Amino acid sequence: MKVIRTHDLSKTYNHLVVPVKALVNVNLEISEGEFTAIVGPSGSGKTTLLNMLGGLDQPTSGKIFIDDTEITGMKESRLIDFRLRNIGFVFQSYNLIPVLTAIENVSFIMLLQNYPKDKMEKRARELLEQVGLADKADVRPQKLSGGQQQRVAVARALASNPRFVLADEPTANLDTQSAFNLLDIMLRLNREENITLLFSTHDQRVIDRARRVITLVDGSIVEDQHFEK
Amino acid sequence: MKILVTLAWRNLWRSKRRTMITIASVFFAVALAINAQSFQQGSYELMIDNMVRFSTGYLQIQDVLYEEEPSMDNSLLVSDSLLISVRPFLKRIAYTVPRIQSFALASTEAATRGAMVTGIDPETENRFNSLPEQVVEGRYLAASDHAVLVAEGLAGLLKTRVGDTLVLIGQGYQGSMAAGKYPVKGIVRLRIPELNNNAVYMPLSAAQDFYGAENRLTSLIVMPADPGDADRLTEDLSAAVDSNWYVVRSWKYLLQDLLSLMEFDTASNMVIIYILYIVIAFGIFGTILSMMIERNAEFAMLISLGMKRRRLAMVCLLESLFISFTGAIAGAVLALPVVAWYHHHPIPLKGDLAEMILQYGFEPVLPFSADPKIFLTQALIVFVMAVIIGFYPVYKIFRMKTVERSNR
């Protein structure tokens, strides 16, 4: 089943001195349960593509479908709600809420979703356990290492039971061991829970583990490789 | 809602110093504004109190023509009809102070001076302005005396002492000649310099004899049982008395020049307070702005995750409310002992400033007003001001573009 489909997706930034084509006619399909890395040099359009797929930015032309719902042109208030229920985000800088503990950060998404309160804490603890941080549930982000914060961010991304998770350079700020730990967890979640994961990355460690690698150059897909792993 | 309150509360304490600085800004604004207002209003209250107690009373009944031409010919007759019309309001009246006064020449062997000769009821005058306490030499008057009290300044000018005889010559009722010789029974030191240099007091009946104005008064001061009832009592008495002969004037009317002066002074002081508000507002805005810059990426991330802008705006607004409320309450609470202290222990003035204030006839002290309205108004103004500034983050959140911010 196709979770993401794009049709001739283009994005041009016109507010710069010279208009910049960030994406040019990108046609892409991501199936359920895929573990995909989007790679390419800086400025190739990786982050722009992820922003489009996450409904954070609107394309200049083209369409995006999540399952069968077209999100291009959707009103912001509907889009926020759509993101909340369908898309998980993992950011390069973790972006946890600094004043909330690990478990509160994970529960936060469920609170926004009006998840039943009696089940919320149980699910948040389960998610923290899945990322190996059950013992850090009541710790605030500044007391956690970078790798631990990113694992909390993964747990948070999964809290809403999203259709897919978008991760923008998730290992860029992590040391080797933390990056491997994070990748192991994400791979396990992908295999065991059939969670669809889409990364933008420069990191060879991520690329080596991905089952599909899409290469972008100057806003266009130049290579789309599938691997059996 | 609980999570929004939790977020707002914890956000306040993630940068304790910034929060404390903002609270302190609100606190100082409220405390300073309360003290400034309290100080100003306290001075005015004292002025009004002095004037009401020593000069006009809360309200006066006069002859309708007296204001236009304050002469003995326009004195009022204490008639049965007047007494009957006042009777229904006796419960609301604490006491009345009858006075008859006009100018006369006062002479001794040494000198002659113009004097304001006032006939008083010694007992009610005592109740009204504690005149016996001002006696510095000799004794106070009794109702049946045929004698006078002379103000200390005038006594000096006339070179007269207790036991001397004062000759008074003036114009009485309907052009009659007013003349008489009166022994000086006492010397009084009056607070108002102008009065201290020209006042002569004698018992009411003696004064009515002197002016040939039997049963007549130039004014009947009415002191209400409740000073707060003065305005309504003025209205009620005005409606009750015969308006062809009598008019009832409130202290606000009698002291309208003073009140206009106070209003002008209040306006100029308000300019200073507005400047204070503006300075404080920019202080609060500065801290709010630094908070916004620091948390832009976080706000964008929260919107990206699926938090609605209005809920995020609510968090920021709650933070502003917490800060403003805490600062406003703390400012009002901590201003209270200062105001209370100076309300009960007015600041005494010395030197030239004291002299200048004495010239105006007021006590040279600076009391603070303890009117609760001042606390409420100032705390509310600064609170509302801080809340309005708190809408800046709300505005920014609704205009924020999430993409540039959340990818950081």
Query: Which residue did the predictor score with more confidence, B336 or A174?
Result: B336
Q: Give pLDDT tens digits for B69-81.
A: 888 899 998 888 8
Tell me if B403 and A57 make a contact (CB, 8 A cut-off): yes
Examine the pLDDT at B385 and tell me if it is beyond 70. Answer: yes
Instruction: Determine the structural domain holding residue B224 and report its residue range.
Output: 65-244
B206: in domain: yes
Q: Show which of B244, B268, B293 is a domain's final residue.
A: B244
B63: left (phi over 0), alpha (psi -120 to 50) or beta: beta
Q: Which of A205-214, B339-348, B357-366 has the lowest mean pLDDT?
A: B357-366
Residue B407: predicted pLDDT: 46
Give the B window 21-50 contacts with A, CB below 8 Å.
none
Q: Show which of B211, B244, B277 is a domain's final residue.
A: B244
* Interface check B12 vs A, CB under 8 A: no
B195: in domain: yes
State the amino acid at position B178 in one-letter form.
Answer: A
Total tally of structural domains belonging to chain B = 2
Residue B359: predicted pLDDT: 63
Shared domain check, B335 and B240: no
Shared domain check, B287 and B331: yes
Q: Write down the H helix ranges in B87-203.
A: 122-129, 152-158, 193-196
CB B212 within 8 A of CB B176: yes
State the amino acid at position B200 in one-letter form.
Answer: V
Shared domain check, B40 and B73: no
Question: What is the share, in percent, of chain B residues with pLDDT greater than 90?
Answer: 37
Place of tokens 């609704």: B398
Shared domain check, B156 and B26: no
* Interface check B14 vs A, CB under 8 A: yes
pLDDT-derived band of residue A229, with 50, 70 and 90 as boundaries? low
Residue B104: predicted pLDDT: 95
Residue B341: predicted pLDDT: 92
Q: Which of A60-64, A119-123, B166-170, B350-354 has the lowest mean pLDDT?
A: B350-354
User: Taking CB atoms and an 8 Å cutoff, what residues of chain A touch B309?
Assistant: 80
From CA A4, how far away is CA A29, in angstroms rounded? 6
Q: Give pLDDT tens digits for A189-220.
A: 888 888 899 989 888 888 888 889 999 999 99
User: Taking CB atoms and an 8 Å cutoff, what residues of chain B touch A47?
Assistant: 407
Shared domain check, B149 and B46: no
pLDDT-derived band of residue B209, with 50, 70 and 90 as boundaries? very high
Q: How many angstroms away from the CA of A188 is the closest CA of chain B? A: 23
- For A84, nearest residue in chain B (alpha carbons): B306
Mean predicted confidence (pLDDT) in B222-239: 90
B307: in domain: yes
Shared domain check, B213 and B300: no
SS3 B220: strand
Question: What is the share, in percent, of chain B residues with pLDDT greater than 70?
Answer: 97
Residue A16: predicted pLDDT: 65
Say which of A51, A89, A109 has its CB closest to residue B403.
A51
Tell me if A81 and B306 make a contact (CB, 8 A cut-off): yes
Tell me if B14 and A160 make a contact (CB, 8 A cut-off): no
Best A16, A108, A113 residue to mutate vs chain B (most B CBs within 10 Å): A108
B218: in domain: yes
Residue B9: predicted pLDDT: 87
Tell me if A99 and B301 make a contact (CB, 8 A cut-off): no
Give the B window 290-319 contacts with A, CB below 8 Å.
297-298, 301-309, 311
Tell me if A56 and B10 make a contact (CB, 8 A cut-off): no
Q: Which domains does chain A possess?
A: 34-59+75-226 (3.40.50.300)
Tell me if B407 and A47 make a contact (CB, 8 A cut-off): yes
Mean predicted confidence (pLDDT) in B372-380: 89
Residue B240's closest CA among B83, B58, B67, B68?
A: B83
Shared domain check, B240 and B91: yes
Q: Give pLDDT tens digits for A66-102.
A: 998 999 988 888 888 898 889 998 888 888 888 889 9
User: Taking CB atoms and an 8 Å cutoff, what residues of chain B touch A84?
Assistant: 305-306
From CA A216, how far away is CA A213, in angstroms rounded? 10
* Interface check B4 vs A, CB under 8 A: no
Query: Which residue did the predictor score with more confidence, B406 or B116?
Result: B116
Shared domain check, B269 and B201: no
Mean predicted confidence (pLDDT) in B382-393: 86
Q: How many angstroms away from the CA of A76 is the closest CA of chain B? A: 9
Shared domain check, B287 and B218: no
User: Taking CB atoms and an 8 Å cutoff, what residues of chain A touch B305?
Assistant: 83-84, 89, 108-109, 112, 156
Highest mean pLDDT among A45-49, A54-58, B152-156, B386-390: B152-156
- For A111, nearest residue in chain B (alpha carbons): B3
DSSP B367: P
pLDDT-derived band of residue B121, with 50, 70 and 90 as boundaries? very high
Tell me if B306 and A80 make a contact (CB, 8 A cut-off): yes
pLDDT-derived band of residue B221, with 50, 70 and 90 as boundaries? very high
Q: Give pLDDT tens digits for B280-290.
A: 888 888 888 88
Examine the pLDDT at A175 and tell me if it is beyond 60. Answer: yes
pLDDT-derived band of residue B361, with 50, 70 and 90 as boundaries? low
B253: in domain: no
B60: in domain: no
Q: Give pLDDT tens digits for A19-31.
A: 888 899 999 999 9
Mean predicted confidence (pLDDT) in B45-54: 78
Q: How many angstroms away from the CA of A71 is the closest CA of chain B? A: 14
Tell me if A100 and B301 make a contact (CB, 8 A cut-off): no
Q: What is the Rg, in whole angstroms, of the alpha carbon atoms belonging to chain A?
A: 17
* Interface check B10 vs A, CB under 8 A: yes
- For A165, nearest residue in chain B (alpha carbons): B305
Residue B408: predicted pLDDT: 43
User: Taking CB atoms and an 8 Å cutoff, what residues of chain A touch B298?
Assistant: 95, 97-98
Mean predicted confidence (pLDDT) in B384-402: 85
Place of tokens 């005015």: B44
Q: How many angstroms away from the CA of B293 is the closest CA of chain A? A: 16
Length of chain B counted residue by residue: 408
Shared domain check, B263 and B345: yes
B225: in domain: yes
* Interface check B181 vs A, CB under 8 A: no
Residue B390: predicted pLDDT: 85
Shared domain check, B263 and B235: no
Mean predicted confidence (pLDDT) in B357-371: 77
Q: Show which of B244, B268, B287 is a domain's final residue.
A: B244
ipTM: 0.79
Mean predicted confidence (pLDDT) in B160-176: 93
Listed in sequence order, the residues at least 6 apart from A3 whose beta carbon sits closer than 8 Å to its beta carbon are A30, A31, A32, A34, A66, A67, A163, A164, A196
Examine the pLDDT at A136 and tell me if it is beyond 70. Answer: yes
Say which of B6, B308, B402 has its CB closest to residue A56.
B402
Question: What is the share, in percent, of chain A residues with pLDDT greater than 90?
Answer: 39
Tell me if B7 and A99 make a contact (CB, 8 A cut-off): yes
Say which of A51, A99, A109 has its CB closest to residue B305.
A109
B130: in domain: yes
User: Taking CB atoms and an 8 Å cutoff, what residues of chain B touch A53?
Assistant: none
Q: Give pLDDT tens digits for B75-105.
A: 998 888 888 888 899 999 999 999 999 999 9
CB B368 within 8 A of CB B40: no
User: Taking CB atoms and an 8 Å cutoff, what residues of chain B touch A83?
Assistant: 304-306
Q: Give pLDDT tens digits for B20-34.
A: 888 888 888 889 889
Examine the pLDDT at B206 and tell me if it is beyond 80. Answer: yes
Shared domain check, B212 and B94: yes
The per-residue pLDDT of chain B, averaged, comes to 87
